[in-house]
Amino acid sequence: MNHCPCFFRLKKGHGGSFRFLSQPIFWISDLQLPRRGPGGGRHQPIRVWVHPPRRNRTSGLSPASLGAGRGLGAKPAAATSRRRKNMAGAAGPGTGAGAAGGDGDDSLYPIAVLIDELRNEDVQLRLNSIKKLSTIALALGVERTRTELLPFLTDTIYDEDEVLLALAEQLGNFTGLVGGPDFAHCLLPPLESLATVEETVVRDKAVESLRQISQEHTSVALEAHFVPLVKRLASGDWFTSRTSACGLFSVCYPRASNAIKAEIRQHFRSLCSDDTPMVRRAAAAKLGEFAKVLELDSVKSEIVPLFTNLASDEQDSVRLLAVEACVSIAQLLSQEDLEALVMPILRQAAEDKSWRVRYMVADKFSELQKAVGPKITQDDLIPAFQNLLKDCEAEVRAAAAHKVKELCENLPIEGRETIIMDQILPFIKELVSDTNQHVKSALASVIMGLSTILGKENTIEHLLPLFLAQLKDECPEVRLNIISNLDCVNEVIGIRQLSQSLLPAIVELAEDAKWRVRLAIIEYMPLLAGQLGVEFFDEKLNSLCMAWLVDHVYAIREAATNNLMKLVQKFGIEWAQNTIVPKVLVMANDPNYLHRMTTLFCINVLSEACGQEITTKQMLPIVLKMAGDQVANVRFNVAKSLQKIGPILDTDALQEEVKPVLQKLGQDEDMDVKYFAQEAMSVVVQRLRKLDLPVKDCDEPSAPGADKNHFLRPRGPGEDAGKEGAAVRGGQSPCRAQVERLESSEASYILVAGSVAPNVPSSSSSLS
């Protein structure tokens, strides 16, 4: 159950909650050894890719982490579940009775063989079989699936949780495979057993599938089969079945008859006061959902008392879930009832002695605000919010700080400014100098948004000093959060107001000792450049951008390279030619081979942005010169660069300059240089051939444009079909095939989950 705020805890570890860590994979190191040094290292540049540790607690138990350390691995699970979805598309409910028709071929697929597969000793194989359960069902046909497969599954539910999880998921999409809605109830027995197992993940999945299937039941079948199942679960001995039942009430209630409705309500009531906290938590978590399907009278007479009890439960883990329910219940009631029935409890929750409950109130504040409406917000919620902003626990303050902007936005426009200025801003000012950096950084991530709400004058007078203070904060995260939201302020007062303080902040972040901080600020550079304008940029920031190119961390150099490209897109070719290109090219003579390679990487991305002329006249000579470099890494990167910029160059340059150099590199003593030179050569040759063809055969204008799209444009069916003959594979132009191959060869650098996959030049033979 992932509702307890202590599991959405702020990440306080190093680099914890930086926004730029959203990427699931990051480098821990990049080894780019000079290859012909004294030892003569033999390897390609290797990047070690590492998956950041899975954060189980933030997401509750994830399916792949059934009891940490014994999951069968997240990777295959994720991959197969995607595949399974596709399969479900083919064989799922849409299939219907007709398509899945009762014609399994008995002779070919005796059930014994299939069941043997499901019983295999190897868990992995068993898991694979279960994941292909729909295939098995399809082979058996609907009749035998109902009479043989399902009973087998029901009887043998004692397996590893991983297998049970897959089974629970499969069965949710099985209606079509058992003969359509009329037979959907056949799926209930196995799912009922699954809904009683211990492992939460399995149970939750079984409940999810049951909910799905309930929709496919006819009303009669629902009362005859589904409701009894819910009742059985709700009165089960062990807590697991009762927890599962909590999630099923709301799906069968709306379609049940009145007598049964009363019974369902009765069951829900008793679960809300269950002996085990686990069940009460489950009931509290579903209270809001259940309230929504109830008649208004019952909400008032039954749900509100339940809510009141749960909100004053002895366990804070139950109380905090009641806060969530509060949002749903509040939406259903009139203002008067709300004031009388719900507000006393909400007030109490906002001052609960457990910080987890207060955190929950802070975390759900926007939802609560919308649910209770403007009047109660003003009378009750604003004072509560003020208290949360000065709570004694930093967790609570941070959660509240996160909501500042949303709260202000959602206030009624009339009188909004006064409320913010008088009742919110004083507390925000306090938070700017909070003792806890997570509180400050939470505030920094939203505070800029207030400027649009408060308008120019207030921003300059009241907010600007806060921005400036935060820009000077000692914690880089706070500064980053301010910088990343500059655009909000720019619209209101223009960025110039800030530039004086901005610059030192940027410079400091740019030189931060943590490379992730540097990486983050690089990513904001194009945005900053756009807002500060070219002059300011040239004067103050350009040198920073160039300095990053020689950073000692590869990720920074790479980001800096991409940054240059984005800047060129923003400031234009002329600017590039005057400011960037010369500096990049100078690095080609750097004694450090890593810097020389950076030149090549820059050229790879800049050539396209700069166009043919600059590429041919300024960049190409440098690249060609570097072909004689003494470090093999540089040489094979020359080959790769030539391949990359090839499409931008004209035929003459390709023929007379590039080709000879590649030919020479193709004879290189180093295996990898040779390989990449040959790769590039085949691309160049193909391009030359293609450039030639239209010139000779058709009467197209000569010197076909340097626009590479010309060669990549999708072809109509039959177009050029005869001419290109064997060269065209799978309806794609060879150029495209080439591009794809390139991408796949790039992909082989990626070392998944720590296993080292060497970059094998596997497909070179197929090319020559």
Does 354 participate in binding another protein (rule CB under 8 A)? yes
- Measure Cα distances from 428 to 370, 439, 462 in Å: 22, 11, 11
Helix (H, G, I), strand (E, B) or coil at 30: strand
- Identify which of residues 138 and 673 has a Cβ nearer to another protein in the complex: 138
Among 12, 19, 51, 617, binds another protein (CB under 8 A): 12
- Identify which of residues 353 and 552 has a Cβ nearer to another protein in the complex: 353
Among 108, 259, 413, 698, binds another protein (CB under 8 A): 108
Does 475 participate in binding another protein (rule CB under 8 A)? no
The phi, psi pair for 435, rounded to 5°, reads -80, -20
Which residues in the 303-342 window bind another protein by CB under 8 A? 314, 316-317
Residues 556 and 342: their CA atoms lie apart, in Å, by: 53
Does 745 participate in binding another protein (rule CB under 8 A)? no
Q: Which residues pair with 573 in a beta bridge?
A: none
Residues 173 and 168: their CA atoms lie apart, in Å, by: 10
CB of 91 to another protein, least distance (A): 7
Among 18, 355, 385, 554, binds another protein (CB under 8 A): 355
Does 277 participate in binding another protein (rule CB under 8 A)? yes
HEC readout, 180-196? CHHHHHHHHHHHHHHCC
CB-based contact 390:430 (threshold 8 Å): yes
Which span (69-77, 290-298, 371-379, 749-757) binds another protein, by CB under 8 A?
Answer: 69-77
Among 7, 26, 27, 575, binds another protein (CB under 8 A): 7
Does 238 participate in binding another protein (rule CB under 8 A)? yes
CB of 55 to another protein, least distance (A): 7
The helix-helix angle for 277-293 and 258-272 (nearest 10°) equals 150
CB of 542 to another protein, least distance (A): 39
Residues 589 and 618: their CA atoms lie apart, in Å, by: 15
**Number of Cβ atoms within 10 Å of the Cβ of 278:** 17
Does 741 participate in binding another protein (rule CB under 8 A)? no
- Identify which of residues 78 and 90 has a Cβ nearer to another protein in the complex: 90
> In Å, how far from its chain's centre is CA 743?
22
Does 174 participate in binding another protein (rule CB under 8 A)? no
**Number of Cβ atoms within 10 Å of the Cβ of 719:** 12
Evaluated on CA atoms 466, 471, 472, 474, the torsion sign reads positive
Does 387 participate in binding another protein (rule CB under 8 A)? no
Instruction: Build a one-symbol-per-residue string for 14-53: x at contacts with another protein by CB under 8 A, - elsewhere.
Output: --x------------------------------------x
Q: Which residues pair with 50 in a beta bridge?
A: 26
Among 80, 81, 200, 312, binds another protein (CB under 8 A): 200
Pairing, β 46-50 against β 26-31? antiparallel
CB of 353 to another protein, least distance (A): 6
CB-based contact 559:523 (threshold 8 Å): yes
List, in sequence order, every beta strand (DSSP E) within 311-427: none
CB of 663 to another protein, least distance (A): 45
**Number of Cβ atoms within 10 Å of the Cβ of 182:** 14
Which span (5-13, 226-234, 540-548, 680-688) binds another protein, by CB under 8 A?
Answer: 5-13
CB-based contact 606:573 (threshold 8 Å): no
Interaction site with another protein (CB under 8 A): 1, 4, 6-7, 9-13, 16, 53, 55-57, 60-61, 66-73, 87, 90-91, 95, 99-100, 105, 108-109, 113, 117, 121, 123, 125, 132, 134-136, 138-139, 160, 198-200, 238-239, 276-278, 281, 314, 316-317, 353-356, 393-395
